[in-house]
Amino acid sequence: MARLRDYWPRLTGALRALLFWSLVYGYCGLCASIHLLKLLWSIGRGPGQTFQRLVRENPPACLNDPSLGTHCYVRIKDSGLRFHYVAAGERGKPLMLLLHGFPEFWYSWRHQLREFKSEYRVVALDLRGYGETDAPSHQESYKLDCIVVDIKDILDSLGYSKCVLVGHDWGGMIAWLIAICYPELVTKLVVINFPHPNVFTEYILWHPSQVIKSGYYFFFQMPWFPEFMFTINDFKALKHLFTSQSTGIGQKGCRLTAEDLEAYIYVFSQPGALTGPINHYRNIFSCLPLKYHQVTTPTLLLWGERDAFMDVEMAEVTRIYVKSHFRLTILSEASHWLQQDQPDIVNKLIWTFLKEEMRKNE
């Protein structure tokens, strides 16, 4: 009996790991089967249309709009990777660093680049593997600890020791991690539609509704097939994410123009442009939950209640992990794409949070 007690913790740990990975790969197989059926259905309806792709050689004009800022590049010494970003506002002003989600890139912050450049040096980054930023070929290069170090090194390369950090979706995950691992780098934290990583880990494992909503996390564990599914019918899946009634920006939102949508398709239709972004997700289950999780930075969490990918209940639970000032605002008519959906409201809420914190520090 004594020997059994000694082995029991190890046995239960192994059993939990077995159940965890059985869930991950079992649901991965289910999601793959569903997408395979969708592919066969599309081929049956029109094989020519299914595999049709327009060649997009030139970017739409909106990606070079001078009112959004200047296109810049920085090479990180340790990794050797070159990062692309768009910067607005004068050098020397406090830095506001913007981290996008999936499937997005720097352009998803166009409304914030224009808004905050009056008082900040606003930098909208293309994350590792996205857009014009370098994309390492190995899947292991997209682990969360690599991405966190990217942001730390970029801050240093830009000549700043701290910033206001703003992240949406996957960029929100990274923003949380920066605030946890390097709190001295973040003066204010703004996260849009992503809960604290530990809250997300618990919900994705124990709440069926969130498991269903996060189906793409599991589907993305497969090699090459997710990238292929995005390309069929000339990137119909990508268009659907932003425009459909179920997942897209709603009637009362600031809908994407045809040129906005073409900007997204142009970026992700380039050769190999989807593999890097999806590789971020292929490492997530080996990185969570976190060993350290407390946030000591003043934090604003903004949430679109109509988010098709995240249960709104996670927003309130996040409060327990923030050991500093925490403000949560849920917008009832807004979607997952909050900073594009309701830019005026989002910008106003961020301004209020920043000014409020400034007054507290005076």
Catalytic residues: 169, 281, 336
The whole-angstrom separation of Cα 221 and Cα 243 is: 25
Question: Are the beta carbons of 224 and 285 closer than 8 angstroms?
Answer: no
Question: Are the beta carbons of 41 and 242 closer than 8 angstroms?
Answer: no
80: its two tokens: 């050797």
Write down the number of H helices and E strands in the chain: 14, 8
The whole-angstrom separation of Cα 158 and Cα 74 is: 8
305: its two tokens: 């209640």
Contacting residues for 298 by C-beta, under 8 A, at least 6 apart: 187, 188, 189, 324, 325, 326, 353, 357
The whole-angstrom separation of Cα 247 and Cα 284 is: 23
333 φ, ψ to 5°?
A: -100, 10
The whole-angstrom separation of Cα 345 and Cα 338 is: 9
Sheet with strand 299-304: strands edge to edge: 70-75, 82-88, 121-125, 95-99, 163-168, 186-192, 299-304, 326-331
- CA distance to 238, 278, 310, per residue, from 173 (Å): 21, 15, 13
**Helix H or strand E segment including 60:** none
DSSP 84: E
107: its two tokens: 């352009």
